[in-house]
């Protein structure tokens, strides 16, 4: 089973509102086994353009990553985030070395 990842790029316009989003996403992230790999660390844009905050979250499986996003708890948190900034989010399946195109 391959892991799943959320990759998010965020611009925060309301820091207090974003803190409410973070508090609300804690329960669904715990339920679905989320592990933060990067969360607003230093970064350097070397190609293209991006938002100011970058987050990478690992899940035990691609399915868990999808289910977390679509669950009621995260959808509530997302509604709080949408009031606090703009985000681009993609959910990707991890690479296990056995997939075509190796």
What are 11-22's pLDDT values in tens digits?
Answer: 999 999 999 999
Q: pTM for the whole thing?
A: 0.89
Q: Which two tokens stand for residue 45?
A: 């844009």
Query: Whose CA is closest to 21, among 85, 80, 88?
Result: 80
Residue range 4-93, CATH number: 3.30.70.100
CB 38 within 8 A of CB 54: yes
* pLDDT of amino acid 101: 59
Distance, in Å, from the CA atom of 98 to the CA atom of 102, rounded to the nearest integer, reads: 7
Task: Determine the pLDDT at residue 29.
Answer: 98
Q: Is the pLDDT of residue 58 over 90?
A: yes
- Rounded distance, CA 91 to CA 64, Å? 11
């Amino acid at each position: 089973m391959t892991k799943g990842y959320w990759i998010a790029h965020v611009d925060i316009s309301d820091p207090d509102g974003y803190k409410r989003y973070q508090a609300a996403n804690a329960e669904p992230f715990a339920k679905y086994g989320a592990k933060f790999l990067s969360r607003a660390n230093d970064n350097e844009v070397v190609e293209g353009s991006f938002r100011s905050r970058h987050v990478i979250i690992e899940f035990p499986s691609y399915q868990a990553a999808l289910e977390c996003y679509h669950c009621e708890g995260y959808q509530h948190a997302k509604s709080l985030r949408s009031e606090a900034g703009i985000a681009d989010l993609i959910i990707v399946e991890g690479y296990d070395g056995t997939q075509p195109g190796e």
